Amino acid sequence: MNNECRTGILGGRFDPVHLGHLRTAAVAQRVLDLDRVLLLPSRVSPHRATPARATDTDRLAFVTLAATSSPYLSPCDLELESDGPSYTSVTLDRLLDQGHRPTQLFFIVGADAFAEITSWHQYPSVLDRAHFVVVSRPGNSVANLVRDLPDLRERMQKGIRDSEKLSLSTDIEPTVFLIDAKTPDVSSTDIRTRVAKGKPLADLVPTNVATYIKHHGLYER
């Protein structure tokens, strides 16, 4: 891995990965001119009370298949290799230990998840480990974060549209980029429910992921 690359990190359970995830990655990649975006399944999510339905192997397979849709996407098993909870701060520390610089790392997250940033492990120092790229989700506008997280306003770069392409200095301090974008109204929970009811997954997940789910009989119960 070339540590000079501008590397995006999109983490999640990916149970399964869906087009909302991929649209979020695409927006961040285009606006911030990222060289790559890592799709990083979590092993043990500290914010979820129940474990993932699919196995670690299946979820890594999902992101591996999804990554074939774009040359900038790459699957990453960094968190699956760890025995402990999948804390963002720990993951970023591991990437920094590999030689990455905070100014070259871009942690991508939906506005709904970032709204809870004050409850994250090692907040607020986690925000010093990378740039954070926050993308609107249906029903969760990035504009609300300016109001709801007043302590972070000085870190925020606001009013970014998904049609823009930012030109950033390589030594800019870790920043919270708020991107207003339209992303598909889809969730992994809804997808699992559709599978259990025998409904199709067209326009919800990549075709090869839908094929994998059907072939392995996932989420049918």
- Distance CA(140)–CA(87), nearest Å, equals 23
Beta bridge partners of 36: 7
pLDDT in tens, the chain (221 residues): 455 799 999 999 999 999 999 999 999 999 999 999 999 999 887 766 688 999 999 999 999 999 999 999 999 999 999 888 889 999 999 999 999 999 999 999 999 999 999 999 999 999 999 999 999 999 999 999 999 999 999 999 999 999 999 988 877 999 999 999 999 999 999 999 999 999 999 999 999 999 999 999 999 98
On whether the CB atoms of residues 82 and 34 are closer than 8 A, the answer is: no
Could you tell me if residue 221 is inside a domain? no
Could you tell me if residue 220 is inside a domain? no
Query: Where do we find the tokens 């049609």?
Result: 163
Could you tell me if residue 136 is inside a domain? yes
**DSSP structure string for 163-184:** T------TTPPP-EEEEE----
In this structure, what DSSP letter does residue 54 have?
S
- Distance CA(219)–CA(221), nearest Å, equals 5
Could you tell me if residue 118 is inside a domain? yes
On whether the CB atoms of residues 182 and 189 are closer than 8 A, the answer is: no
Total structural domains in the chain? 1
Taking the CB of residue 175, how many other CB atoms lie within 10 A of it?
A: 18
pLDDT on residue 203:
94
Could you tell me if residue 2 is inside a domain? no
H/E stretch holding 157 reads strand 156-161
3-state DSSP of 96-114? HHCCCCHHHEEEEEEHHHH
Report the predicted TM-score, pTM, of the whole model to 2 decimal places.
0.95
Could you tell me if residue 14 is inside a domain? yes
Domain encompassing residue 164: 7-215
CATH number at residue 77: 3.40.50.620
Query: Where do we find the tokens 């996932």?
Result: 218
- Distance CA(108)–CA(148), nearest Å, equals 19
In this structure, what DSSP letter does residue 140 have?
B
Could you tell me if residue 1 is inside a domain? no
Could you tell me if residue 84 is inside a domain? yes
Query: Where do we find the tokens 């920094």?
Result: 96
